Structure 1
Amino acid sequence: MRRTDRLFDIIQILRDGKLHRAQDIAARLEVSTRTIYRDMDTLAASGVPVEGERGVGYMVREAITLPPLTLTVAELEALNLGVAIVSEAADEELKAAALSLADKIDAVLPTQVVAEADAWKFAVYPFADAARGFAQMPTLRAAIRARQKLRLCYLAKDGSRTDRIVRPLHMEYWGRVWTLTAWCELRAAFRVFRVDLIESAEALPELFVDEPGKRLSDYVP
């Protein structure tokens, strides 16, 4: 497992707001406890509000604000996309300015998901991944609003590609990376997809309605 994938998985574990021991996380991810300690240091250095200490446990807290502003998810998306585009520019001065701006944003944008509409910050992915993920955003957002099923071509962590029919339910912001929570009909279970790994998204004519066990309110991270 790549380190970036493991860091993503650690955030998935911590997102419930409960205290988790490093040794339990290590056992779940099949790595050493020392590796988890290093990963927690990396997350903290990236701006993720990790609280805790070795031998006790770790958890994530804090709400998303950009003092003195409170941003909507759409505004965060626009800010993220602008920085991502400029950071890939050929103009070295603009690129340096974009990276400097990103550092400032990272420093003042700690987050925690408390409610369904809240966002998460995860500032350890490269800008290129974020820019690639934004290509699918209009389709995903429109399908969530319309309650419309999607056909996804998804690149798994092992490099394999799978076609999925999903019920898109919710999107979350992790700072440079977005995720899509959906009910996957292939797996008959909830799945969280990294948007930057979605190679294509096609809206299907079939709509869906709430069914017990398949609603966002039924999802337990």
Structure 2
Amino acid sequence: MRRSDRLSEIIEIVQDGRLHLARDIAERLEVSVRTIYRDFDTLVASGIPIDGERGVGYMLREPVFLPPMNLSLLELEALHLGMAIVAQAADEELQTASASLTKKIEKVATANGAAPKNWGFGVYPFAQAKLGFQHMPRIRTAIRNREKLLLDYRSLENRISSRIVWPLQIEFWGRVWTMTCWCETRGDFRSFRIDHIVICKRTGDYFEDQQGRRLDDYLAKVDAEMEQGIERN
């Protein structure tokens, strides 16, 4: 998370007028308590009306209004549709973020007259895709931290294999999520359907960018094969 995003998130957290401990905010944002202390110092120095001190807690004295969004109704509908899909067809972490974002959008949009009341979309769950949602938070964290994962994977032929992989990217294909990786076991790039992952474990081992094993290398390889008319299995 970028520092500017984290500062905005901290403001959102303390908007409720309650006292918040730095350690609770640090745990929620997955940073150190010292980082949160520095962030509060920055916010106070910039004029944000925050009361508190280290070891006691922090609270907002008065509401803070973030810059308004200038979106058309069509843009709002597109954004709302995306949030509705995430709210029904994603893991708990993303569902929580989607609900929070939707409330912010609706609050601002209806306040400035950009959207009428009772607008938006309803989306029904994707049953097959939800099978893999339990693994999504761990995969996203591993991609951010460049941590190797141990997978037990069930193929389309219903065979189980174990792999050590370097997770590079998650892709969504309408009803199915896949994970593109460098597979140590096979010594090549592989894409795995996340709903076919039986077990996904952290290894505690990390990887660094290596020529020929990066996401850019994978994308270049796919482009080259498409140009040559090679169908990937």
TM-score relative to the length of structure 1: 0.47
- Tell which structure's C-alpha radius of gyration is larger: 2
